[in-house]
Amino acid sequence: MRSAVAHAVSEEQREQLAAMTPAERVALVVRLSEEGLASYMATHGLDRQTAITRIRATRRVGRRPSASADADDD
């Protein structure tokens, strides 16, 4: 069972997202992605390319090998 506060916050977030234009939502995703990458880089003391490589590698853990997944690394 969720708290009333958690429900109110998630409802508010849904309303904020619904009010955004598609371009604003894309910009939000890009900004949050960059912030997450910067945080990962700072935490692990990595450069951008190494951090991206490690993140991509962790996405594959436990999955079947796929030629299409390897093609995305280009």
* Angle between the N-to-C axes of helices 48-60 and 22-44, in degrees from 0 to 180, rounded to the nearest 10: 100
- Write down the pLDDT at residue 1: 62
| Number of domains forming the structure of the chain | 1
Q: Which residues, given as ranges, of the chain have pLDDT below 70? A: 1, 69-74
- Write down the pLDDT at residue 9: 81
| Any domain includes 67 | no
Burial (CB < 10 A; 0-12, 13-18, 19+), residue 5, is exposed
Q: Where in the sequence is the domain holding 49, given as residue range(s)?
A: 22-59
- Write down the pLDDT at residue 19: 93
Are the CB atoms for 29 and 36 separated by under 8 Å? no
| Any domain includes 68 | no
| Any domain includes 40 | yes
| Dihedral sign computed on CA atoms, order 57, 59, 64, 65 | negative
Q: Is 21 helix (H, G, I), strand (E, B) or coil?
A: coil
- Write down the pLDDT at residue 66: 72
| Any domain includes 13 | no
| Any domain includes 36 | yes
